[in-house]
């Protein structure tokens, strides 16, 4: 079975400060890892993914995430937060096996960027 | 390109009524997923279709729920009869199987059962 943990229900950060949203995962094989963002009353939007290669992945809106295999983590980061980054963030994992389709989501972390 | 299109965006109905939610996936995508989102349970996968065939419906809560995909461009999720505990946001998502598999979500259908 695969799982995702987002240990913080909410993260508060001041505008202009760096932000980190934490994610750890468990999967039997090699992971495909994803971050999605959800704004109020909207669907989930894809931000970035790790498939293989460089452990630092860059995505949309200036976000990046670092894959750490030994710590089974995939934390989302941004050097300078914007008020418009305030949203709900979901980490997700999928086994990289050929027959795998199930994307397992974490419970989400609400990010609030304070002006 | 148009994204995943869902309708209706909002539905308010009374207990016992039939509810039908609709989804048009992104053209060319061959995998379609229905998810349910609630505060208590987060995002739950209800059913997964590949090439219009249901592959995994283990997440469908009970026999009151059914889903169909008659062709590559249309899917429905039906609840009959509806109950207050079915109140949630229902999302449809599509992807291209055989790729790294990121999902593209619709805007969701918010269902309220009174």
Using the Cβ of A110 and the Cβ atoms of chain B, whether some distance falls under 8 Å is answered with no
- Contact of B40 with B110, CB cutoff 8 Å: no
- Contact of A37 with A88, CB cutoff 8 Å: yes
pLDDT recorded at residue B1: 62
Question: Which residue has 């039939």 as its token pair?
Answer: B18
Percent of chain A at pLDDT exceeding 90: 82
pLDDT recorded at residue A53: 87
User: How many residues make up chain A in this entry?
Assistant: 115
Nearest CB neighbour to B42, from listed A34, A42, A108:
A108
Residues 6+ apart with CB under 8 A from A70: none
- Distance linking the first and last C-alpha atoms of chain B: 37
For residue A39, the chain B residue with the least C-alpha distance is B107
CA distances from A2 to A6, A27, A56, A73, A96 (A): 14, 4, 22, 14, 12
**Residue-wise pLDDT tens digits, B4-43:** 999 999 999 999 999 999 999 999 999 999 999 999 999 9
For residue B9, the chain A residue with the least C-alpha distance is A41
For residue A105, the chain B residue with the least C-alpha distance is B43
Nearest CB neighbour to A43, from listed B31, B42, B107:
B107
Phi, psi (rounded to 5 degrees) for A25: -140, 165
Using the Cβ of B51 and the Cβ atoms of chain A, whether some distance falls under 8 Å is answered with no
């Amino acid at each position: 079975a695969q799982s995702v943990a987002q240990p913080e229900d909410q993260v508060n950060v001041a505008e202009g400060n760096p932000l980190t949203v934490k994610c750890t995962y468990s999967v039997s094989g090699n992971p495909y890892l994803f971050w999605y963002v959800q704004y109020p009353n909207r669907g989930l939007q894809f931000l970035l993914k790790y498939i293989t290669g460089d452990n630092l992945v860059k995505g949309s809106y200036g976000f990046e995430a670092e894959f750490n295999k030994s710590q089974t983590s995939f934390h989302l980061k941004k050097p300078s937060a914007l008020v418009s980054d305030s949203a709900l963030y979901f980490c997700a994992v999928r086994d990289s096996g050929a027959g795998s389709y199930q994307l397992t989501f974490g419970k989400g972390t609400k990010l609030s960027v304070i002006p | 390109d148009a994204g995943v299109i869902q309708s209706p965006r909002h539905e308010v109905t009374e207990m016992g009524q039939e509810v039908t939610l609709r989804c048009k996936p992104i053209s060319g995508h061959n995998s379609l997923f229905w998810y349910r989102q609630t505060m208590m349970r987060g995002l739950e996968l209800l059913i997964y279709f590949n090439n219009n065939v249901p592959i995994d419906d283990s997440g469908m809560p009970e026999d009151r729920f059914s889903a169909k995909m008659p062709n590559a461009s249309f899917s429905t999720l039906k609840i009959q009869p509806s109950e207050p505990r079915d109140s949630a946001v229902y999302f449809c998502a599509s992807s291209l199987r055989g790729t790294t598999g990121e999902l593209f979500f619709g805007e969701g259908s918010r269902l309220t059962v009174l």
